[in-house]
Amino acid sequence: MVIHIRFILRVTGYEIGIIQQLIMKCFPCKVFTFGSVPPKTYLPDSDIDLTAFSDSPNLKDS
C-alpha cells in the first residue's frame, strides 16, 4: 500500500514528527517525508509532503 499525503499547514519539524507518529499508530505502515522537508528548506507556509508505505495485506493501494 502506498498513501501520498500532502498537508498545507504552518507546522514545525516537531509537529511533522507528531503527524508521522499519529499515522503510524493508526495504520501498520512507515511514513517518510520528501520534498523540502528532509533538507529542512521548507517555509512556514510550505506544503508538507508525506508518503506512507505498508506491506499489510489488509490495506489496498489508494
- List of E strands, 1-62: 2-8, 30-34, 47-53
Cell reading at 33: 517525508
- Check residue 48 and give its pLDDT: 77
Whole-prediction pTM value? 0.67
Quote the pLDDT of residue 30.
92
Tell me which of 28 and 61 has the higher pLDDT: 28
| Bridge partners of residue 24, in order along the sequence | none
> pLDDT by residue (tens digit) across 5-40?
665 556 677 888 888 999 899 989 999 988 887 787
Domain boundaries, given as residue ranges, for the chain: 2-53
Who wins on pLDDT, 27 or 59?
A: 27
Cell numbers 507556509 label which residue?
45
Count CA atoms within 13 Å of residue 37 on its CB side: 23
